[in-house]
Structures are given as C-alpha cells and as structure tokens.
Amino acid sequence: MDFLLSGFIKALHLLLNRDPSTWTAVAATLKVSTGSILASLAAGLPLGFVLGYFDFRGRRFIRTCVDTLLALPTVFIGLVVYAVITSRGPLGEYGLLFTLSGIAIGQIILALPIVVALTASTVENMDSRLRLTLVSLGAGKKDLLLTCLWEVRYGLLAAAVTAYGRVMTEVGISMMVGGNIKWHTRTITTAIALETGKGMFANGIALGLVLITIAFAVNMSVSFLRRK
C-alpha cells in the first residue's frame, strides 16, 4: 500500500507545480467535453421536450430507439466515427481524425441520447394538470411552453449533468478517434490509462484527482442553482 501513498504525494506535487503534460490533458478534456455537451444540449433538449410533451404516431418506437442508444458502448461509437472521418471515409477530406473536433463528434453521439431520454422522462412526469390550469387561465402557447420548461428545470439540469459526466469519463472514443497524442488530443481518461499502464501511478492519480474535482464542482454548481 506504500506505493499508493507515495503516488498520492507525487500527484499533489505534479498538480501544485503545474506539470505541463498533466494540465495539457486537463485543458483538452475541458475543451472537448464542454463543446460536445453544449452541442448535445442545444439539440437534445428540444428533441426530448417534443418526445415527452407531444403525442404523435411513432412516438413509442422513437422512444424505444432512444432508450436503446443509451447502452451504446463508447468503443463502438469510436469505431463508427473513425470509419466516417478516416481518410477513406465520407468526411475524410475535413481532416477530423486525431483531432479534438473528431473526439467531440463522438461525444455528441454519446451524450445526445442521454439528454433526449432524460428530458423526455422529465417532461412525461410533469403534472398533467399544469397544462389544463394554464389553458384555463388564458395562457398563450409561448407562456405555456415557458412555464412547462420552468417546472421541469431541475430535471433538465440533471440531464445535463448526467450527460456531462458521461462524456468526461469516456475512454473509447477519445482513444480511437483522438489517438491519445501528447500535447494535442490526450485527455484525462486516456492519460490515466496510459500512465497507469506504464507504472506511472503518480500521474494517473493526479489526473484522477482533477477528474473527481471537476465532477464535484459541477454537482456543487447544480446544487447552488437549485437553492437559488
């Protein structure tokens, strides 16, 4: 157990002394994960609201497909994205392979079903009497929509946090599409896997501490917003 303690001490040393390789991986992770989650929320929240609020033909089938996509393995997503953006793929001319943009594409595919499914579930569980009450009070379509969104705001926050946590901790997409290139596409999770495999426990622990800190900060922010 001594190696864990020494690794923890060395990890603190790396973080406090701003080790370039460690903080480069942190910066790449924050950049790609934040960009992908914003894109996923922009597309997923409206789609999830429509899926949960309106009743239309094929709704159950679409909902089943979305729920099925929740179980997509990250390595499969990485394989599909790799095949699409490789030089022989349909998007090969854009040079997305082994870039943060390529990783972001895969993470959007990973996060989108999560946002859509959780948003739809939140809207479905909304008090059915709310709409009738608003209509009886003469609320217009805009007021009806905004009020419903306000009522489910905590569920939408939960969907955003869950999706963000998923993309922050995935390994398969970042490894396959990004290539784990140092100073360029190496993320926290791929760096942890690499450094641990080399026996560099201090580097792995340091990055793990950063990952936990980010997750804690995100959840604390959500709790703060809820109190407000």
pLDDT at 7: 66
pLDDT at 218: 80
pTM of the complete model: 0.88
Among candidate residues 152, 153, 168, 147, the one with its CA nearest the CA of residue 40: 168
pLDDT at 228: 60
More reliable by pLDDT, 180 or 133: 180
- What dihedral angle (degrees, nearest 10) is formed by the CA atoms of 58, 61, 67, 72? -120
Distances, alpha carbon 207 to alpha carbons 24, 136, 196, in Å: 11, 55, 11
More reliable by pLDDT, 167 or 205: 167
Residues of the chain with pLDDT > 90, as a percent, come to 42
More reliable by pLDDT, 191 or 126: 191
pLDDT at 187: 92
Q: What tens digit of pLDDT does each residue of 46-70 get?
A: 999 999 888 889 999 999 999 999 9
pLDDT for residue 1 is more than 60: no
Boundaries of every domain in the chain: 26-186
In this structure, whether the domain defined by 26-186 belongs to CATH 3.30.360.10 is answered with no
Answer yes or no: are the C-beta atoms of 226 and 157 closer than 8 Å.
yes
Q: Is the dihedral of CA 157, 161, 163, 167 positive or negative?
A: positive
Among candidate residues 169, 203, 172, 154, the one with its CA nearest the CA of residue 33: 169
pLDDT at 145: 75
pLDDT at 126: 81
pLDDT for residue 76 is more than 90: yes
Structural tokens at position 191: 């760096």
Lowest model confidence (mean pLDDT) among 72-76, 124-128, 172-176? 124-128
Q: What tens digit of pLDDT does each residue of 104-121 get?
A: 999 999 999 999 999 999
Q: What tens digit of pLDDT does each residue of 187-217 get?
A: 989 988 888 887 777 778 888 888 888 888 8
pLDDT for residue 3 is more than 70: no
Q: What tens digit of pLDDT does each residue of 144-156 get?
A: 777 788 888 888 8
